[in-house]
Structure 1
Amino acid sequence: MADQDDQPTTAAARVAPHHAGHRERLRERARTAGLHHLPDYELLELFLFRSQPQGDVKPIAKALLSRFGSFAAVLAASVEDLMTVRTEDTRGRIKGVGMETALDLAALHEVARRVALEPAVKRPVISSWTALLAYVRVALQHEPREQFRVLYLDRKNQLILDEIQNRGTVDHAPVYPREVVRRGLEVSAAAMILVHNHPSGDPTPSRADIDMTRQIVQAAKSLSLEVHDHLIVGREGVTSFKQQGLM
């Protein structure tokens, strides 16, 4: 009588999953051809391999890009929004983005934000305006909800603190001028740059944006704090209040 290991295998057992060897093939292509040659979904797959060490992650990568619209938007999505993404594999099993995967993606966005910030803080912000605009795009261009930030500067116009003052909804983030100015005094700032995003994509200032900016400028002026600019970030670009003659 043959041992159990010598028993012939069934046809079903011999059929390997369709994605068998895919990870090794993808890594090999990344090594030989270069990461820059990979389409977005495959680059995202490589990253998902870390938090999902087994199984086919291609459907998840494609579902993320489909849901949020771009690689940058995937990374900018909140952990809660990422965890709502679900897909179905070839066996009809539902797979999704768990907490570990969502945190990995959020961490990648934070890495990108800090890398973009470095050139802007090595010199006075006013003299490195191009680097500042690149930074605020990375930080806010694809944020799904409105966010109001303040860049507090010292007397040499170097960054002291980049602080999120408030997060809001898809079209509103409450801003309290006294709190903005009070925080500036706490960190011994001499000036500040206001920054917020429009999740709609259009960076055109609203009447509420203009009125709120004027309130902050007046409150700051009374305490010898200067407001250099207010930047509104959208997917269509960045609007400067100073350049638009709005302050």
Structure 2
Amino acid sequence: MRGQPRSDYVFQRAEDQKELERLRVIETVCDPASRRRLSGTGLRAGWRCLEVGPGAGSIMNWMGEMVGSRGQVVAVDLSTKFLADQHGSNVEILQEDIRTAALPPRSFDLVHARYVLIHMQDCEVALDRMLDCLKPGGWLVIEEPDFSASRGITGPEETLRSVEKVNQAIERMYRRLGMDFMLGVKLPSLLQRRGLRSLAVENEAPLSPGGSGMATIMRLSAVQLREKYLATGVVSEADLERYCRFADDPETWAIYYATVAVSGQQARG
């Protein structure tokens, strides 16, 4: 490890157990679609893959199974605390910053990142580094949130007002940190300008009841980011309490955020 890289990750100070719980729920909710998108690139035995920001490691390990003993998965993350002793011999874990990691150029068949770029002020630097790592004809799969899609749909009027305030606090928090709260919708343009071919774009904005996986993700986020939300001046303690109750109530409905996923192929030669 080359020194201590600077982290912009909004969950950096979250308690480990709470953060692991949040990551596990994200895996449960998001892994099926991520595996489908990755499989759509032609992922197969013998490929060399780069997983950026593996979190708790589920996609990293799944890709390791897919590429088999003749392939390899390299996982890069600022924190690898949740990845110890749970990966195959064909998986290499690097505690590095993708923006500065000494990865060999043009050496990976597939590069994947989910909910990583949104935590970076200089996300385009990270994106360019990922592209540098791709072989000619290699595939990039990026999945990022778009919080501009967030809105409460059904619930008590006072609670819906609190939900809207929390959504506004999320936007203000990201803006104050110099990050883009609606990065997801900009991905297609970012990749198109970089010459990726065969772009496939998905925009998923599920309408979710309270108690669902998506609602649980955002409730756990609200608990962990409570101080940061309050610091925006948009929400009160009462707003956050109502938001968490809303997210647990199966009779409420909301679009908590959208996920935009873009797959594209590096030009050959």
More helix by share: 1
Does TM, normalized by the shorter one, top 0.5?
no
Greater RCO between the two (CA within 8 Å, min separation 6)? 2
TM-score, scaled to structure 2: 0.29
Larger radius of gyration: 1
Q: TM-score, normalised by structure 1?
A: 0.30
Structure with more strand by fraction: 2
